[in-house]
Structure 1
Amino acid sequence: MITRRQVFPIAAALGLAATTGLPIDAARADSGPQAVVDHALGTLQDLRHDKEFGNALQLISRAHAILIAPQIFKAGFFFGGEGGRAVLMARGINGSWSNPAFYTVASGSFGLQIGAQESEMIMFIMSERALHALMANKFEIGANAGIAVATLGSTVAGATTTNAGADIIVWASSSGVYAGISLAGTLVQPNGDMNSSYYGRPLTSGEIVLERLAHNPAAAPLVHSLDVL
């Protein structure tokens, strides 16, 4: 597992990609889809014990789905960018959770930025329309008409009341030199290549999390962790 102490050399490489105009691919800093699943499991375990998550367990009990981006790397030397991988899991009619579908999280910015940062993000999908919006080719936070997104800081205390009408509630935390994570304009896209790699055949996000046509035993600890929350 990549620790926060290892973020700076990784983020420096991402910063180089940003300055050269190349696409930022944070997944290259990791070892593949199983690593994303394992990191997501670590985030859920933190959810049980870290007081900064506040009453997030109450959000999960009401959520239709959850998207976990356990490692979003940001680096910049005048140019900046963010990139990472995520998994989306949906709750079924019987309350059980699906196997994970893989997503890419990416955004870019320009400005006087010097530093490096690792962030983690959890999106609580609170409505069916928000879940179906994530099935599309691209979902841009803050740009989809009719989808209300509430962004929380280092705590989700009171989220179940103050953000009761939100379609998506986003919790994010950051470490490093940057003061915080900016989610405006962030694109969340299905990653078909990682889905194919993990399940051995081409599958859409909908086929995985809604139709439940995919199963990988290696995802069982992550699925179980959600089932018992």
Structure 2
Amino acid sequence: MKRITVIACGLAMVASSVSAFAASDKAKLTERLTDAQNVVRQIMATPDKGIPQSILAGASCVVVVPSYKKAAFVVGGQYGQGVATCRTPRGWSAPVFVQLAGGSFGFQIGGQATDLVLVAMNQQGLQDMLKNKFKIGGDAAASAGPVGRNAQAGTDWKLNAEFLTYSRSKGLFAGINLDGTVLSQNQDDTRTMYGTDLPFQTILKGNQATPPEARPFVRTVAHYFVVSKANQ
């Protein structure tokens, strides 16, 4: 009887530890969503230096990879964690947790981590997002996005680019070349947030309710999309 009690106590302690770790991981994901929301707000708060409204108004998906304050980027490893949401007939989708890795770009500019924003511009860009894992510049054509309220770039991105890519470091915001990087779902983080394994496309097609922790981020993207459409 004593042995059974000891085993039961041990199992209870393990369950408690697992629950605590899960809560800790979810708190980190909530912080990432808040950071992503702040990146979008700060970029759009300076329209003369931000993503042109004509671009955001036509966006199919938005990916935000915010910088981390606690060594979240592997030094020199060209690696980052972020979130993605896509436009659906019912509004913007719940977010998928993603990771961006590889390529020849650097996340560290002058020793400071960089915020990244990727904007899928057409249905093909959306389909590439739904592949679960693809190489930017290979599976999906990408261009460094134009910046500013009335920015006029060449017609290449309008005709060919499935993604427009941006970076922000030390307060400076500009287009960036991310060719060669691989975007994929972070399945562990997605599982932590949703409590189960969900396919990339199930979430981004709007077939999953947005968790309370993610609503501020999704609402922020939706807000600037609506504002941009109204100002067209």
Change (3 A) 1:168 1:123: same
The change in CA–CA distance for 1:31 and 1:175 in structure 2 (over 3 A counts) is: farther
**2 CA distance for matches of 1:138 and 1:90?**
16
**Which moves more between the two structures, 186-195 or 101-110?**
101-110
Instruction: Considering Cα pairs closer than 8 Å and 6+ residues apart, tell me whether 1 or 2 has the greater RCO.
Output: 2
Kept in 1: contact 2:49–2:148 (CA 8 A):
yes
* Paired residues of 1:99 and 1:223 also in contact (CA < 8 A): yes
State the match for 2:49 in structure 1. Answer: 52
Instruction: Kindly state the Cα deviation for residue 122 of structure 1 after the two structures are TM-superposed.
Output: 0.9
In structure 2, how many angstroms separate the alpha carbons of the residues matched to 1:221 and 1:155? Answer: 25
Alignment of 1:46-195 (within 5 A): 46-50=42-46, 51-55=48-52, 57-71=53-67, 80-94=76-90, 96-107=91-102, 116-144=111-139, 147-152=140-145, 157-159=151-153, 163-165=157-159, 166-175=161-170, 183-195=178-190
1:65–1:91 contact (8 Å) kept in structure 2:
yes
| Alignment CA distance shift 1:185-1:197 (3 Å) | same
Q: What do the CA deviations read for 1:115-165 (whole angstroms, capped 9, x no partner)?
A: 623111111101222222122242111122xx3211137668225956212
Instruction: Give the TM-score normalised by the residue count of structure 2.
Output: 0.70
CA distance in 2 between counterparts of 1:53 and 1:172 reads 10
CA distance in 2, matches of 1:162, 1:109: 22
| Inter-partner Cα distance in structure 1 for 2:118 and 2:147 | 14
**In structure 2, how many angstroms separate the alpha carbons of the residues matched to 1:213 and 1:114?**
37
**Could you tell which deviates more after superposition, 216-225 or 126-135?**
126-135
SS in 1 for 2:93: coil
Return the TM-score normalized by structure 1.
Answer: 0.70
Pick the structure with greater CA Rg: 2
| Kept in 2: contact 1:101–1:195 (CA 8 A) | yes
What is the CA-CA distance between 1:101 and the residue it aligns to?
Answer: 0.5
Secondary structure of 1:81 counterpart: coil
- In percent, how many aligned pairs have the same letter? 27
- For residues 214 and 160 of structure 1, the distance between their equivalents in structure 2, rounded to whole angstroms, comes to 39
Change (3 A) 1:194 1:211: same
Q: Aligned partners of 1:54 and 1:160: how far apart in 2? A: 15
Looking at structure 1, the residues matched to 176 and 87 of structure 2 have their Cα atoms a distance apart, in angstroms, of 28
Q: For residue 38 of structure 2, give the secondary structure of its aligned residue in structure 1.
A: helix
Deviation at 1:31, TM superposition (A): 6.0
Distance change (3 Å), C-alpha of 1:168 and 1:151 = same
Give unmatched runs, 5+ long, in structure 2.
1-25, 225-232
Distance (whole Å) between structure 2 residues aligned to residue 140 and residue 215 of structure 1: 27
Aligned to 1:207: 202
Q: Is the 8 A contact 2:165 2:177 kept in 1?
A: no
| Residue-pair matches, total | 189
1:37 partnered with 2:29: no
Q: RMSD of the TM alignment (CA)?
A: 3.1
What stretches of structure 1 of length at least 5 have no aligned partner? 1-29
